[in-house]
Amino acid sequence: MENKSINDPKLPNENAVIATKVNNARKDGMSKGVLITSIISLILLLGLGILAYSLNKRDHNNQLAVLENQRVTFTEQLTQRDSMLNDWLATFDEIEGNIRVIKEKEKLITVNSSNSEVSKDRRHQILEDIQNINGLIEQNKKKIAQLNAQLKKSGNTITGLQTRIASLEESMKIYEGEIAELKTTLVNKDFEIGQLNGNLYALKDTLTVKESKISTQTGKLHQAFLISGTYKDLKAKGLLTKEGGFIGLGRKEAILEDFSDSLFQKIDITEIKTIPVNSKNAKLVTEHPSGSYEMVKENEKQVAYIAIKDPDEFWRISKYAVVELIK
């Protein structure tokens, strides 16, 4: 049997076939291994790519958020800066408007004070213009100080604005100097600028005092004293003597005694037209011209009041009126 195998001619062909199959199988195995390795590598690469994309996207989103915050911050800063610039420009316009008014008033002052003789009305106008200019200069100085403070607070360095502010400050100094020269010129023309207001106030005070004195004197001129009562009441107050006369002012001479005006009612002779009586009868103890008054009866049994027909005449002799009521 072994000899048969050795001597069999078909055996080499079979070995070749087997070797070929083994070789092919090996190649197939290698191809499959390469394919599997490639697939695994591809999967790993895809995973790494996805991971990298995810990380990159997250980082990108973070960067976008930071950029958006920066954009919002810059926008707010620009808005604030625009608002600040608008405020500054408005202030500059106000200052320049004041400067134009100052220039116009300076021209008027120069024209009005050019004559050797200046009328009182023109003097007052010049002084008023100078006061207005001083007020405008002070307003401008305050506004310029505010601009400087705002510019420093903002932390911005804006050369153009700083230069303009410095120029305005210099202009205000120049105007102050010019106004000082105008004042000197006016003083040389007998303008007492510093004293004029003081004199004016002093004059007003003097007039007020005089008016007060006049008012007081007028009040005293129109002031009179009135009292009424029974003889018993008037005697108890020390106003009537036994003879019935009024101390110092009665119809008959009597011993003078001091009495207080506080016992009397103070009245204004321009306002009092009647003296109430409401009694059976009455008589004036003090002296008053008979034609200047009249006893007005309510009925036959009672006097209602004393009518003062002629106040000037009634109070001419005495500013005291003592009415004795008879019950």
Give 2-61 pLDDT, tens digit per residue. 444 445 555 556 666 666 766 666 666 666 666 777 788 788 778 777 877 777 777 777
Quote the pLDDT of residue 256: 40
Reading the chain (327 residues) residue by residue, the pLDDT tens digits are: 444 444 555 555 666 666 676 666 666 666 666 677 778 878 877 877 787 777 777 777 777 777 777 777 767 666 666 676 677 677 777 777 777 877 777 776 665 665 555 566 777 777 787 788 888 888 888 888 887 787 777 766 666 777 877 887 787 788 778 777 777 776 666 555 455 556 666 777 777 777 777 666 666 788 999 998 888 888 888 887 666 455 545 444 342 456 677 888 999 999 999 999 999 999 888 889 989 999 999 898 899 999 999 999 999 988 888 888 988
Task: Select from 1.10.3470, 1.10.287, 1.20.120, 1.20.58 the CATH code of 86-211.
Answer: 1.20.58
Please give the pLDDT value at position 51.
74
Burial string for 227-263 (b: 16+ CB within 10 Å, else e) reads: bbbebeebeeeebbbeebbbbebbeeebeeeeeeeee
In percent, how much of the chain has pLDDT > 70? 66
**d(C-alpha 212, C-alpha 105), whole Å:** 39
3 state DSSP class of 308 = strand
Q: Nearest to residue 251, comparing CAs of 260, 261, 240, 262?
A: 240
With contact defined as beta carbons under 8 Å apart, do 276 and 305 qualify? Answer: yes
What are the angstrom distances between the C-alpha of 162 and each of 86, 94, 143, 323?
15, 17, 14, 88
Query: How distant, in Å, are the alpha carbons of 204, 226, 254 from that of 199?
Result: 8, 45, 54
Measure the CA–CA gap between 104 and 98, rounded to whole angstroms.
10
Residue holding tokens 């116009």? 104
Counting Cβ atoms within 10 Å, is residue 193 exposed (0-12), middle (13-18) or buried (19+)? middle
Judging by beta carbons within 10 Å of its beta carbon (0-12, 13-18, 19+), is residue 148 exposed, middle or buried? Answer: middle
Q: Got the DSSP string for 24-39?
A: HHHHHHHHHHHHHHHH
